[in-house]
Amino acid sequence: MREFSYDVAIIGGGPAGLAAALAAREAGAERVLILERDRELGGILQQCIHNGFGLRRFEEELTGPGYAHRYIDLVKATDIDVWLDTTVLAAEPGGVITSVSPHAGLTVVRAKSVVYAMGCRERTRGAIRTPGSRPAGVFTAGAAQRMVNMEGYLPGREVVIVGSGDIGLIMARRMTFEGAKVKAVFEIMPHSNGLTRNIVQCLEDFGIPLYLGHSVTAIHGKDRVSGVTVSKVNDKLEVIEGTAFDVDCDCVLLSVGLIPENELGRAAGLGLDPITGGARVDQFRQTSIPGFFAAGNVLHVHDLVDWVSEEAAIAGRSAARHARGELVASGRQRSVTAGEGLRTVVPQCLSAFEPGKMSVRFYFRAAKPMGASLLQFWADGALAFERKLRVVKPSEMIVADIPVRKIGDAATLEFRVLPAPEKIDAEDEIEEEA
Amino acid sequence: MMARVVHAIQCIGCPIGCGGEVAVEDGVVAEMTGFTCNKGLAYAAEEVVAPKRMVTTTVRVSGGGLPLLPVVSATPVPKDRIFDCLRLLRGVTVVAPIAEGAIIVADALGLGVDFRAARDIASL
């Protein structure tokens, strides 16, 4: 068994891993390694052939592969090592990473810092407990996306999509482009979980109906899917009797949420956030185990890759500083909580600030859609900072920079989102610039 | 006599997704409300008169490490010609290696829109 040593080892070569590796190298880590289980770098972006990526990061609209290639080219221009077809089996405290690959067999890497960048995976039929038979033709939307865009297979001709996540919406258009008939999208919640522009461009453009407040209550078919039964649900998400109807189809695509692919972190004993499913991190994206960092969808599921790149750069820089012994044990950590109107906040705790630090950027998910709102920051029970938001949607992450002087020495830090007393004009909203 | 028609337009220019209205009088945009950037105003004005979309799809690859090449229109395509473009691209097979940005179909259907390779594909 061969052994290697690195300053920073990054698990995953998708957008988070690529940005973390570059930032670590730029911040002075001399030996940086990316471990990637797929045949090439780029992660899920390689199958996201639609455009709309990179508006913030590159100020132009790129396709998924286009965005990935910008970063792959930057990595190739450095001396960062990349191991492809390499699956990490364990990453243990102390920075011992065990991996396996067809060409190198079992390998151990000793790293001063480790960055988790494994991304996320899709929730499946089991996760939403859809009753019925177990026929062929039921896929997660992302699996179908890989088949259609990379492997050259069409998973069905008459399609029903369950859930209104972005990948499902994108696949509604993609399947339509490839000659399939997409009959409907059914979303159990009273609001869509996808970006507004995807509702317009992927459904409305092609007359594909979106049924909100509807649940697929059964999947039918013996060998192949033959149809689904759908019912309306009430505000407790309970099926309303007498509203059931059937839709014939030969393919069901599920777009019912994403969960961090965090088995390695869980096995290593990281402190987890039960809501995001990812690690609890401080502003350096350091987890509860010193020297272990996390960024991107393995930390919390993002809607824009631009934010993934930015967050991963923070983790990469911090990992480089830790490898050099510059990220000192932070001492007292203060906990940050998502209060009224919010579901999640990242980072979940704050360590001591770096000298000269002016602000800390926080990322939030709202609990429910709201119109004009106020994002409030409460320090030790007193309102310390307030920002106007024109609109709040659970599908779109809220990003806010909080000045360090507003945070001060407060021991308890809480964020809330409340309805704004009056309508907010565009000029009043401050957009955070990356 | 002036015929005034108000269209509700959902901007797709960026993820903020502003909703607004465009009033058209005798085929000419008379008034726009609800949009918050120049890109949004330009999109909304075009959307009521001549809607366009970027088009992404795949074409077959021969002799490549992957069976499909993703392609993207260099500029937006008139909405009512999207399926004509897809039909054209369905018949295209490219030979690897292919470099990102290479023109796969120039001036598709005389629309003045090129389709370009969205990634590299190495030959086998």
The reply to whether residue A177 touches residue B86, judged by beta carbons under 8 angstroms, is yes
Of A148, A204, A304, the CB nearest to B15: A304
What CATH architecture is B4-49?
A: Single Sheet (2.20)
Contact status of A426 with chain B (Cβ, < 8 Å): yes
Report the 10 Å Cβ neighbour count for A248: 12
Contact status of A207 with chain B (Cβ, < 8 Å): no
Confidence category of residue B14, pLDDT binned at 50, 70, 90: low
Fold of A124-256: FAD/NAD(P)-binding domain (3.50.50)
CA A337 to chain centre: 20
- Six-digit token pair at A129? 């407990």
DSSP 8-class letter at A163:
S
- Distance, in Å, from the CA atom of A260 to the CA atom of A412, rounded to the nearest integer, reads 27
Domain boundaries, chain B: 4-49, 56-117
Do the domains A338-428 and A2-121+259-329 match in fold?
A: no
Contact status of A285 with chain B (Cβ, < 8 Å): no
CA A117 to chain centre: 11
| Average pLDDT, integer, range A189-202 | 88
SS3 of A61, please?
coil
Do the domains B56-117 and B4-49 match in fold?
A: no
Question: Would you say A150 and A47 are in contact if contact means Cβ atoms under 8 Å apart?
Answer: yes
**CA angle, A135 then A136 then A138, to 5°:** 95
Chain B CA closest to residue A392: B16
SS3 of A125, please?
helix
| Average pLDDT, integer, range B9-36 | 84
- Six-digit token pair at A343? 């579901």
Give ipTM to 2 decimals: 0.90
The reply to whether residue A200 touches residue B12, judged by beta carbons under 8 angstroms, is yes
The confidence score (pLDDT) of residue A434 equals: 36
Chain A CA closest to residue B84: A177
Domain boundaries, chain A: 2-121+259-329, 124-256, 338-428
Of B14, B70, B120, the CB nearest to A63: B70
Contact status of B36 with chain A (Cβ, < 8 Å): yes
The reply to whether residue B17 touches residue A63, judged by beta carbons under 8 angstroms, is no
For residue B120, the chain A residues in CB contact (below 8 A) are 69
Sheet of strand A373-379: strand arrangement: A349-350, A334-338, A413-419, A373-379, A382-389
DSSP 8-class letter at A298:
G
Q: How many CB pairs under 8 A join A and B?
A: 75
- Distance, in Å, from the CA atom of A150 to the CA atom of A142, rounded to the nearest integer, reads 11
The reply to whether residue A195 touches residue B17, judged by beta carbons under 8 angstroms, is yes
Report the 10 Å Cβ neighbour count for A316: 32
What is the CATH code for A338-428? 2.60.40.10
| Average pLDDT, integer, range B52-78 | 96
The confidence score (pLDDT) of residue A424 equals: 57
Contact status of A306 with chain B (Cβ, < 8 Å): no
**Per-residue pLDDT tens digits for A318-355:** 999 999 998 876 567 899 999 999 999 999 999 988 88
- Is pLDDT of A295 > 70? yes
What CATH architecture is B56-117?
A: Roll (3.10)
Close Cβ partners of A376 (under 8 Å, ≥ 6 residues apart): A383, A385, A386, A415, A416, A417, A418
Among 3.20.20.70, 3.30.70.260, 3.50.50.60, 3.40.190.10, name the CATH number for the domain at A2-121+259-329.
Answer: 3.50.50.60
Report the 10 Å Cβ neighbour count for A246: 12
